[in-house]
Amino acid sequence: MTSELLDQALVEEATKKSGLIWVRGDGAPAARALWHVWHEGAVCLVGDGPGEQPLPGLADGGSAEVTVRSKDKGGRLVTWRASVSEPAPGSPEWEAAVAELKGKRLNAPDGEEMPARWARECRVLRLAPAGPPLPLPAGSLAERPVPSPATTRRPVPAALPRLLAGLRKKK
């Protein structure tokens, strides 16, 4: 029993303190970094709508693997299995999750209208721990980043090295 309580405390504290978690849903090719909140013993996520994070492979009644990183060092702390549920919009569980998520959502384009937009266009999911933490893998599990239009790589402008050198001399 003590081991179960320690495992539960590890999952909860690590997940609460981490700004991002890596989630791989059933059938998803790779884990994705997702922002979240910890609320009433589970991770709450919002996504799959315009301007929100994608939630591939996460479906009501499914399962997922959640990896939590250290906020300080960025290394993997714990990996755990989760059962996925999707509360109905307007239900008490949905309202409680949205209240927590709304406080953590950065740069929202619609402010106070955000919960109504989430109810119309997005999904709110709850990932509850299911079982003990998984053993840490021996390897790094490094993967190529998921393709995204947000990641652009351009050549460094020719004048940049001279500009930076000039700034260093002025100090």
CATH number of the domain where residue 150 is located: 2.30.110.10
Give yes or no for a contact between 127 and 42, defined as CB atoms under 8 angstroms apart: yes
Kindly report, residue by residue over 84-139, the tens digit of the pLDDT: 999 999 999 999 999 999 988 888 778 889 999 999 999 999 999 998 999 988 88
**Structural domain of residue 15, as residue ranges?**
2-170
Residues 6+ apart with CB under 8 A from 148: none
**Mean pLDDT across the chain:** 87
Of 46 and 144, the structure prediction assigns the larger pLDDT to: 46
Q: What is the average per-residue pLDDT within 55-78?
A: 89
Considering the entire predicted model, what is its pTM?
0.79
pLDDT reported for residue 80: 95
From 50, 51, 23, select the one nearest 35 (Cα to Cα): 23
pLDDT of amino acid 96: 95
User: How many domains are contained in the chain?
Assistant: 1
Residue 98 or 170, more confident:
98
Residue 113: other Cβ atoms inside 10 A: 10
Ramachandran region, residue 139 (left: φ > 0; alpha: ψ -120 to 50; beta: rest): beta
Q: What is the pLDDT of residue 111?
A: 80
Reduced DSSP (H G I as helix, E B as strand, rest coil) percent helix, strand, coil of the chain, to 5: 30, 25, 45
Which pLDDT tens digit goes with each residue over 3-24?
889 989 999 999 999 889 999 9
Task: Give the SS3 label for residue 9.
Answer: helix
Centre a 10 Å sphere on the Cβ of residue 97 and count the other Cβ atoms it contains: 24
pLDDT number for residue 35:
93
